[in-house]
A and B are shown apart, each in its own frame.
Chain A
Amino acid sequence: MKVTLNVDLHHLPRVEGHGNVIVRVDRGSVVDARWEVVETPRYFEVMLKGKHFRTAALLVSRICGICSIGHTLASVRATERAFGVEPPPLAAKLRLLAKHGETIQSHALHLFFLAAPDFLDLPSVLPLVEACPDVVALAARLKGVGNRLCDVVAGRTTHPVSIQVGGMAVRPARADLDRLRHELVSVLPDLESAVQLFRGFKLPEFERETEFVALKGEGSYPWIGGRLISTDGVEKDEDEYRAMTNEYVVEHGTSKWCRLSRDSFAVGALARFNNNFRFLRPEAKKVAAALGLAPIDHNPYRNDLAQLVELVHCVHEALLSIDEIQAAPSDAELRAPVVPRAGSGVGAVEVPRGILYHRYTYDSEGYVVSADCVIPTTQNNKNIHNDVVALVHSLAKRGVSDREAERLCAMLVRAYDPCISCSVH
């Protein structure tokens, strides 16, 4: 049987930003298979030049509407490291709690609103509002608790306000954190329902051996700062992120591509899981076992399951984190003094879609001389492309309908939870 396939997914739906999947298979041979990023470029690195260090974090937050807390955290960390400032311990705890809030809201958004409709053969979550209100209510509760964590700790869920260079601007009210703790406990049964729901979904069988890059866990599952590792055995310092990403411009498409030991690598929930499994909370490890997920997993579709494992991990971590914050003395310091100085700093943060780097060089008055932001989806784009190519080759051998090929390609790209406008910042 000679397979012929034609897929033209222009502006792929249910992903953040604009990208196309194009597939042409002519009588069994693959003529074209590609992942193409067509998002409009925004030139954030150029806009940052000449801006004050307090403006930088607010500006880069606008790179992404979903992971704006992650961008803010990477930005303030880069600036603090450039100035030699260490945020006080309570501020570091609050930042991590906000980070967990973002991971919870982003993973819940992706799992239920973007990915789940594929398994239910629906165009979106909207038909479920009437057909399966329980599932939508569950998704809304999980996403909602993440958003409220961000609201209470960072002042707002999208484009946070309280995370500032030096530490945090305000400490959340005790009563608000108590309420959040109660709400987190109340969603624990929802997490179990979510695991049951995803256990019932049949994920496509597809594997391509991949190098996975993440922050290195040192005693705990890593989120903010630290050394960089890969499953191929590469290890580097946070400051050497450029040697870890090797970003380069391609002629077609507005996002750059990256490579490390191989032609491409992957970052994100599955990459963190594969590198740092042993640091997950026991509750999260149990869920991984129930989902049949174990390191090192090379099926990119299973990034969805890794996100679910992380969702469980983050809810439990957030509970512990709230207790620690409530126990801190009422006069505990929130902000370290900030004195600008000339120099450079790097901030690496694990945001929902993978490891994010910001690097700024400042003049002696604290104005940006140069900036560099390397985005998780930028690091993933070549790997997504390589996966699409490999998938299409297997489909060309196997033989499927155009509709099925389109579904599998769309699901593959979607599994990476790409943040395309982010990648074309």
Chain B
Amino acid sequence: MKYLRIEPRRPKVGIFDFTSCEGCELQLVNHEESLADFLACVEIVNFREASAARDDTYDIALVEGSISRADEVERLKSIRAKAKTLVAFGSCACFGGVNRLKNACDLVAANREVYGAHPKETLPVRAVKEIVPVDLEIPGCPVNKPEVERIVQHLMMDLPFQLPVYPVCVECKQRFTTCLYERGELCLGAISRAGCDAPCPAGGLGCWGCRGPALDANVEAFRSMVRERGFSQRELDERMSFFGGFEVRS
């Protein structure tokens, strides 16, 4: 079937999870109103969380999670070798996500505290691109399914896709959300990449920057604005380091 004289492709997709909560891959079976259409657009050939079928011939590998053990490094490399397109799927894959907070701890002491006399193997957390080349990053904690659907549409039509470069503030204005600073709340919306449709400020929570920095975000000016409004350095630092997006630059 051709659409506008273009033959759409139905890419074979494999979905793989590493150190994470598996919440991003769960989004693939959410947004139920368009689920049947979504599943018609892609051929899911490998999706351990949802299927016992395992086929290693896929065009696109969606990789969720950060990398925190030697066996994960090997598994990731073998996925990279098979995939034509490797997508870092969600903030853990893109930046390390909240798991990266572990890197600020002494891992030997952390192991002792949690596992006592039986420490477990663990490495400092890394993002996917710190180990293998990544073709496309879809940030978010979790990813935004409507955005994932748009990306799939582009891939099917062989069109280039660009994540929004503007900040979350734009999407807040689009949905008429009252600015969180008016409510006396800290918010990273002014410096964070949009594309999420700003659900957090709408739900009464300032942005935590899960999608990383917007293009050319003026972080220094932002910091001084936040200071003028009376928020502490500790509070701002805790927030900016939360998902790792402001530490691991693309």
Contact = CB atoms under 8 A, between A and B. Distances in A.
B105 A254 contact: no
Interface stretch (B28-36, B78-86, B127-135, B157-165): B28-36
A160 B205 CA distance: 10
B21 A68 contact: yes
A124 interface: yes
Interface stretch (A57-65, A195-203, A297-305, A388-396): A57-65
B35 A55 contact: no
Nearest to B122: A41
Interface stretch (A28-36, A81-89, A161-169, A354-362): A161-169
A162 B205 contact: yes
B156 interface: no
B206 to A, nearest CB: 10
B146 interface: no
Interface in A235-273: 249-251, 254
A17 B49 CA distance: 7
Nearest to B39: A129
A161 B19 contact: no
Contacts of B21: 62-65, 68, 421-422
A140 B30 CA distance: 8
A42 B123 CA distance: 10
A158 B27 contact: yes
B102 A123 contact: no
A204 interface: no
A109 interface: yes
Nearest to A68: B23
Nearest to B204: A169
Interface in B24-71: 24-27, 29-30, 32-33, 35-36, 39-40, 44, 47-54, 68-69
Interface residues of A, number: 63
A406 to B, nearest CB: 10
B182 interface: no
B29 A16 contact: no
Contacts of A161: 199-200, 203-205
B192 interface: no
B230 interface: no
Given A124-B47, A161-B205, A42 B19 contact: yes
B20 A250 contact: no
A55 B102 contact: no
Given A140-B32, A144-B32, A154-B203, A40 B19 contact: yes
Nearest to A248: B116
Interface string A20-44: 0000000000000000000011110
Interface in A52-95: 52, 55, 58-59, 62-66, 68
A46 B22 contact: no
A96 interface: no
A158 B26 contact: yes
B207 to A, nearest CB: 10
A308 B195 CA distance: 36
Contact of B30 (A43, A114, A147, A155): A147
A18 B110 CA distance: 22
Interface in B234-248: 234-235, 238-239, 242
Contacts of A162: 203-205
A82 to B, nearest CB: 19
A133 B36 contact: yes
A45 B47 CA distance: 30
A156 interface: yes
Interface string B101-116: 1100100011101111
Nearest to B109: A46
Contacts of A62: 21, 23, 97-98, 141
12 contacts: A13-B51, A40-B69, A42-B68, A109-B29, A123-B52, A126-B50, A140-B36, A141-B32, A159-B23, A169-B204, A170-B202, A251-B118
Given A51-B238, A109-B29, A126-B50, 17 more contacts: A13-B49, A40-B68, A41-B122, A62-B141, A64-B23, A123-B51, A125-B51, A129-B40, A140-B33, A140-B35, A144-B33, A147-B30, A155-B200, A156-B199, A158-B26, A161-B203, A422-B21
